[in-house]
């Protein structure tokens, strides 16, 4: 019988260098994601949740020069700056 301990961390999802995942973060957790970068952020949100929930953040998780980071959706925020600290932490917990 295979038991997992309560402190076992879920496996992280690998992002290859230069690749992107579209993501939604809510309350410090990546709640939705896809490697299908052919979607716009607007289409991704529409397909996954309909409309972006109040307090949720949408953007991209990416790895460049070995550094994993979250970047704002231009469509939703008008810029592609790094996402807020809570979002960066959520990305570090979900991806590698």
Domain ranges of the chain: 20-94
H or E stretch covering 61: strand 57-64
- Across the chain, which has 96 residues, the per-10-residue mean pLDDT values are 57 95 98 95 97 97 96 97 97 97
pLDDT number for residue 6 = 58
CB 72 within 8 A of CB 83: yes
In tens, the pLDDT along 46-70 reads: 999 999 999 999 999 999 999 999 9
Q: At residue 89, what are phi and psi to the nearest 5 degrees?
A: -65, -45
């Amino acid at each position: 019988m295979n038991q997992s301990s309560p402190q076992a961390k879920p496996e992280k999802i690998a992002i290859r260098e230069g690749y992107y995942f579209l993501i939604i973060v809510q309350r410090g957790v990546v709640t939705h994601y896809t490697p299908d970068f052919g979607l716009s952020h607007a289409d991704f949100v529409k397909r996954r949740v309909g409309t972006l929930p109040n307090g949720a953040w949408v953007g991209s998780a990416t790895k460049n020069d070995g550094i994993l980071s979250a970047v704002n959706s231009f469509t939703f925020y008008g810029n592609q700056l790094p996402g807020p600290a809570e979002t960066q932490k959520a990305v570090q917990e979900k991806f590698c």
